[in-house]
Every structure is written in structure tokens, then in C-alpha cells.
Copies of this chain bind each other. A is one copy, B any other.
């Protein structure tokens, strides 16, 4: 099944790919690897989920933020490759989770991105992963997600 068809089946609409917020570009391809810049939970031009897990936000809110980062990464990949069908395999996903000192459930938050890729791409969506807590992120975003795919 084509990825766009699967997106429709899941009721998903890709957001407009957010512009790079600095002196850089959203994607770079080297050989079969497509590197995607870190994505924040932008929605219609603003970072929608701000604050810290374990203090300001529930795990559900963090999960939703990570999912939005994942959708934004897909938009960047589509912009770069023309079609999401050109993704051969997800390789690596890194989630930096804005966390209070005592918070230890970063994996549950990052599942928002990981499960999105699984729902859409099945086995091709399976990736290695790091879930890391940090004390601050650009624009007080709750989550920043980096994605690397094989083309």
C-alpha cells in the first residue's frame, strides 16, 4: 500500500513542513541516508506543547508532542524525497524530552513518535532509539525529535 493511502486510512494529514529556525537546512542526503534536522512540536506555526514532563505536563501531553514532532519530520522527508514511498527504512530516532529532575518515563513520551512510524510504515518503521531527559529546549518545547532514514 502506498504511504499516502495508509495516511488517509489512519486519518492523518501531514502538516506544512516547518521552516528551519536558524542558519541550517531541514534535510541533507548522503548516499542512502537522509538526515532530518531536529523537529519541535510545531503546529500551524507555533510550538504547541511547552513545558516540562514531570512538572507541567502529563505523559499523554508529551506523547502527543512527540507524535507532532514525528509528523513534522515526515513532512520534511516528503519535501526532500517527493514521496514518502521513497523511504526504505527508518534507522534512528532520538527524543530529547524536557524533564523535571525526577522524571524517568522518557520512553513512554517518545513512543508518540515511534508508534506513529510503526502505524504508518509497519516493519519498515522500526528504528533504533534514544530517549533522553534534558532541562531545557528551544522555545520551551516539551520534546525535540531527530530522525534518520534509509532511502
Contacts and interface: CB of A to CB of B under 8 A. Distances in A.
Interface in A115-147: 115, 118, 126-141, 144, 146
Contact of A104 (B24, B54, B90, B136): B136
Interface string A53-74: 0100000000000000000000
Which of the listed residues A20, A24, A25, A54 has the most CB atoms from chain B within 10 Å of its own CB? Answer: A24
Contacts of A102: 136, 140
Given A133-B135, A140-B104, A24 B126 contact: yes
Number of copies: 3
B130 A146 contact: yes
Contacts of A126: 24-25, 28
A92 B131 CA distance: 18
30 contacts: A22-B110, A22-B111, A22-B114, A23-B114, A23-B115, A23-B118, A25-B128, A27-B128, A30-B89, A30-B91, A31-B32, A35-B91, A35-B92, A35-B148, A36-B128, A38-B129, A38-B131, A96-B132, A102-B136, A104-B137, A104-B141, A105-B138, A106-B136, A106-B137, A130-B144, A130-B146, A132-B144, A133-B134, A133-B135, A135-B135
